[in-house]
Amino acid sequence: MYIDGQWVTERSHFLVTNPASGDVIGEVPDCTSEDIDAAITAASEALKSWKQTTAYERSGLLYRAWEIMLSRKQELAELMTREQGKPLKASLNEVQYGADFLLWFAEEAKRINGQTIPSSRDNQRFITQKVPVGVVGAITPWNYPISMITRKLAPALAVGCTLVLKPAEQTPLCAKAMAEVFEEAGFPAGVINVITSRDPAPVGEAFCSDPRIRKLAFTGSTAVGKKLNAQAAAHMKRVSMELGGHAPAIVFPDADPAHAAKGLSLVKFLNTGQACISPNRIFVHRVHAEAFLAELTARVCRLKAGSGFEAGNSIGPLINEAALQKVDSQVQDALAKGATLYTGGHRLTDGELRGGLFYAPTVLAGVTPEMRIYYEETFGPVAPVVIYGDEDDVLAMANDTEYGLAAYVYSNNLSTAVKAFEALEFGIIGINDINPTSAAAPFGGMKSSGLGREGAQEGIEEYLETKLGGFALG
Ligand code: NAP
């Protein structure tokens, strides 16, 4: 743990394992309630001077952290592959995406402007200033263990907030490595604190109830996000919530089915389907059903599972046994209710996969609303295909979910694409685009997928208060 500029190790520890092999790869301290308090104290003491620094100083430090991160890109990516399991190429992409937030917010730090506002009274002047919200409590998940950290820390630091970060218990080593990057960049003691915990509940309670924490920035499941949001509301805390998703992907009659199958096979199996924006309900118009399923299945059959360090493997392990069991139970439920299995549908245990948590990349067709996989977030390598006939109905079916994070549309007709973009109730919509994300673009969901946006200009507002000055002239 990293508290007030010091490394804290003398605690009981919990183990970190490689999900591809089951091997123990490290151990980290399990924080005590005194550690949580010490980290909040350090952040709130450091805030006094950190918020007085100039935007140019903060920008310079973020820029330095960006340089260090890129110089360690390979090392960070290898650690991520060992700890989280994704293929090395995907880890390299994630380190780059994570670093992008440091650069973007290093630049944005200098563009936090107030306003002058005309008054109806000639002897009155209004001005606004943007000020940091204060100490931030940040909680991050394991599926993107580095970029989810920088997506929160970079804007918070850019505006002059200090923070305490609690990373997921499955991926604390990536968080430790990021604390080293910030330490080397020269951030003052107490500005960034990292605590690791086997039991997240006391940390969440402290972040929500301690009056010194002014904002909770959470990425994780909708269930935990709702709980934390309720706890934070009791103390009138600002929150950002980046929660679960259940993205629809619609292949319209005017789309190219082979192109759509190619794109969706890539984005669906990214990170082994363990992504909040993963397409989880693929609606294909019946005119394309056969061609789409043939192309999708052919592509999925070519995906190879295994260690992320072996070139050519694109399917990594699931994060833990419970995750694997959940995926399998969704698949078995769908099959029992009449879905057709095109490929996959079982755990992989042959050869080197034996010690790991691998599930065969799976294609299911004939998925219907009675099946759990239709309405529950799927966090695994399963592509559920729903065949539809009516274009208006499909938009209603896509919106018929409590989630509102990402959606995908395949169409070669401009009117169809615009109408779908306007009708879909989701925060991020890829139109013939499987990667609608960037540090410069707002990321976030509607409905139960969250509150607020990360990245882009919107991402910095989440860490700012607006202060109005009304000046009566004599
Ligand atoms: P999770 O179980 O909600 O955990 C997320 C984080 O919250 C972890 O650090 C976890 O700690 C912590 N946590 C759990 N219970 C807590 C509590 N009572 N108080 C305080 N903290 C608590 O989610 P996950 O399984 O790690 O991540 C997958 C979920 O994240 C999916 O639903 C996915 O869609 C979502 N996600 C959303 C986005 C987005 O940008 N919208 C991005 C990535 C992931 P422990 O690890 O110690 O349990």
Cα 221 to ligand 1 centroid, rounded to whole Å: 5
DSSP string, 142-173: SSSTTHHHHHHHHHHHHHT--EEEE--TT-HH
CA distance 236 to 230: 10
Cβ atoms of 408 and 265 closer than 8 Å: no
**Ranges of CATH 3.40.605.10 domains, the chain:** 2-243+449-472
CA 50 to chain centre: 27
427: tokens are 């925060």
Let me know if 174 is a catalytic residue.
no
> Could you give the CA distance from residue 461 to residue 456 in angstroms, rounded to a whole number?
9
Contacts of 81 (CB under 8 A, 6+ apart): 87, 88, 91, 308, 309, 316
Domain with CATH 3.40.309.10 in the chain: 247-438
Does residue 472 sit in helix, strand or coil?
A: strand
Report CA(143)–ligand 1 centroid distance (Å).
9
Is the pTM higher than 0.95? The answer reads: yes
Q: Tens digit of pLDDT for each residue in 244-267?
A: 999 999 999 999 999 999 999 999
What pLDDT digit, counting tens, does each position of 279-302 carry? 999 999 999 999 999 999 999 999
Ligand 1: which of 15, 146, 219 to mutate, judged by most atoms within 8 Å of the beta carbon? 219
CATH number of 2-243+449-472: 3.40.605.10
Ligand 1-lining residues (CB < 6 angstroms)? 139-144, 148, 166, 168-170, 200-201, 203-204, 219-221, 224, 227-228, 242-245, 276, 377, 405, 445, 450
What CATH number is given for 247-438 in this structure? 3.40.309.10
d(CA 185, CA 182): 5
Cβ neighbours of 463 (radius 10 Å): 28
Distance CA 53, CA 58 (A): 7
Tell me how far the alpha carbon of residue 204 lies from the centroid of ligand 1, in angstroms.
Answer: 11
Ligand 1, atom nearest to 225 Cα: 3
Distance CA 281, CA 339 (A): 13
**Angle at CA of residue 77, ends 300 and 264, nearest 5°:** 25
Q: 251 phi and psi, to 5 degrees? A: -105, 110
3-state secondary structure of 113: coil
- The single residue of 276, 295, 454, 462 carrying the catalytic annotation is 276
Burial of 270 (0-12, 13-18, 19+ CB in 10 A): buried
Residue 161 is among the residues annotated as catalytic for this protein? no
Question: Hey, how many other C-beta atoms are within 10 angstroms of the C-beta on 303?
Answer: 18
pLDDT tens per residue, the chain (474 residues)?
Answer: 999 999 999 999 999 999 999 999 999 999 999 999 999 999 999 999 999 999 999 999 999 999 999 999 999 999 999 999 999 999 999 999 999 999 999 999 999 999 999 999 999 999 999 999 999 999 999 999 999 999 999 999 999 999 999 999 999 999 999 999 999 999 999 999 999 999 999 999 999 999 999 999 999 999 999 999 999 999 999 999 999 999 999 999 999 999 999 999 999 999 999 999 999 999 999 999 999 999 999 999 999 999 999 999 999 999 999 999 999 999 999 999 999 999 999 999 999 999 999 999 999 999 999 999 999 999 999 999 999 999 989 999 999 999 999 999 999 999 999 999 999 999 999 999 999 999 999 999 999 999 999 999 999 999 999 999 999 999
Name the one residue in this structure whose structure tokens are 């789409």.
Answer: 292
450 CA: nearest ligand 1 atom: 41
